[in-house]
Amino acid sequence: MKQRIAISGAGLVGSLLSIYLARRGYSVTVFERRGDMRKKGAEGGRSINLALSNRGLRALEEVGLAGEIKKVAIPMLGRMMHDLQGNLTFQAYGKEGQFINSVSRSALNTVLMNAAEQLGVNFQFEKRITGVDLEKTTLSVQDSKPEAFDLIIGADGAFSVVRGALQITDRFNFSQDYIDHGYKELQVPPGLGGAFQLEQHALHIWPRESYMMIALPNPDGSFTCTLFFPFEGPASFQKLNTNTEVVTFFEQMFPDATRLMPTLLEDFNTNPTSSLVTVRCYPWVKNKTLLIGDAAHAIVPFFGQGMNAGFEDCRILNQLLHYHRDNWDHVLPEFQQARKKNADAIAQLALDNFIEMRDLVADADFLLRKKIEAKLHELYPSKWIPLYSMVTFYDEMSYAHAYDIGQKQKRIMDEVMKTPNLESTWLHLNLEEIVSKLESS
């Protein structure tokens, strides 16, 4: 008889995971507290589009879905920085052929759910889980009688109900850390005939030191802008209370974007101000219950890796199932041990990248540093890979390894940046010499 697995959460990770498990022959039921987004449309409070990069694509590829997704994805080749005067600076993400993809959350989720249903996955919508028994591996849905499964997987996001059950067991380490910034989504509509009113193949950034706005393109020619802004303080959501204050602020700080936002006030007043949390916990496994994706490691969005990390979880879990011939007693402990350090690494990288995006990308020294790194990568393609590239494009390299190498490279670049007449000499730097000098010191 088929083993029965319950997944809590029909979001991106829960849906992809159900596909992996159905393909392995499990009987999979997915419980989702919201309605079917394919019928009702997406609910608010979650980002509209996402950056899909190599790790996520690879996990989709292994279940044969990368092609379908790529068709509706918009490649973003680099960052387009907008200064206060509306001047643009473009910075490529990688080498030729390396890019990230703007995808619609709802389109992606729809593809995944449809594919899962074709494999026999049973989606139960509007079913709120009200109890998880970790000893008996049972789930209660809306206070009905507990139902037993062979395995329960919590893919139910940053505020996971399944994690709630682990959280009250002894010796469960847990933290939730909010940053001081919240976010609000705003729209730039398509131009005449569906034209993109900003460069289509870029992720746009308006870096303003202590805060920023970004914009990602949508297939209909619109852009979804996200303002990342402090909740409190001199420049903050708290200070924008009247329509005049909102418009004045936008016209002053994002003049070029504001001209393209006819519904600015409506968006600002209607859309929620959401908070940003990092969740770390351990263990992820208790008996026959497992946490995965955001439920195990919610991160801030500034490296564009939240979904990609969750998809990678699914791929690695599948790999371990294959290796251990579906012996979960081996798979579960190995999975959490293998993934925890990577989850911690990308959580920290995501926090660090906020500073880079909102502040440093507008800094001349920083841009020079990036140029030098790109040059080093060109000269020593396998020995020096910029951190952003390792995380985004090198899916064979773990987040933890990328983090460690990134730290090392940062120390080297700190030294390099102290070189006198740096701008005129950096082209002649010898990487091997720098590295060996640094390692001997």
Binding site for a copy of itself (CB under 8 A): 170-178, 231, 275
CB of residue 10 to a copy of itself, shortest distance in Å: 22
Where would I find the H helices in 199-327?
A: 243-253, 255-258, 264-270, 294-297, 306-323
Give the number of residues written for the chain: 441
How large is the angle between the packed helices 399-416 and 431-440, nearest 10 degrees? 90
In whole angstroms, the minimum distance from the beta carbon of 8 to a copy of itself comes to 18
Smallest distance from a copy of itself to CB 175, Å? 3
Shortest distance, position 243 Cβ to a copy of itself, whole Å: 25
Query: H/E element holding 163?
Result: helix 161-167
Cα dist from 44 to 214, 271, 285, whole Å? 19, 8, 31
> What number of helices (H) and strands (E) belong to the chain?
17, 19
Return d(Cα 264, Cα 243) in angstroms, integer: 10
Give CA angle at 369 (363, 373), nearest 5°: 145
Give 231 or 394: the residue with its C-beta nearer to a copy of itself.
Answer: 231
Helix (H, G, I), strand (E, B) or coil at 96: coil
Q: How far is the CB of 277 from a copy of itself (least distance, A)?
A: 8
Closer CB to a copy of itself, 229 or 388, in the complex: 229
Q: Which is nearer to a copy of itself, 110 or 236 (CB)?
A: 236
Closer by beta carbon to a copy of itself, 164 or else 255 = 164
Distance CA 27, CA 20 (A): 11
Strands 49-52, 100-104: parallel, antiparallel or unpaired by DSSP? antiparallel
CB 178, min distance to a copy of itself, A: 4
Please report the beta strands in 61-220, taking only residues with DSSP state E, as ranges in sequence order: 74-76, 78-82, 88-92, 100-104, 122-124, 129-133, 138-141, 147-148, 151-154, 173-188, 203-207, 212-217
Least distance from C-beta 172 to a copy of itself, angstroms? 7
Q: How far is the CB of 412 from a copy of itself (least distance, A)?
A: 25
Q: Based on CB atoms, which residue is closest to a copy of itself, 170 or 433?
A: 170
Measured from the CB atom, the residue of 17 and 343 that comes closer to a copy of itself is: 343
CB nearer to a copy of itself: give 79 or 181. Answer: 181
Q: In angstroms, what is the minimal distance from the CB of 156 to a copy of itself?
A: 15
Residue-by-residue DSSP string for 339-408? HHHHHHHHHHHHHHHHHHHHTGGG-HHHHHHHHHHHHHHHHSTTT---HHHHHHH-TTS-HHHHHHHHHH
What three-state secondary structure class fits 103?
strand
Beta carbons of 144 and 128 less than 8 angstroms apart: no
CA dihedral 141, 320, 396, 303 (to 10 degrees): 20
Nearest residue (CB) to a copy of itself, 173 versus 242: 173
Q: Which is nearer to a copy of itself, 152 or 166 (CB)?
A: 166
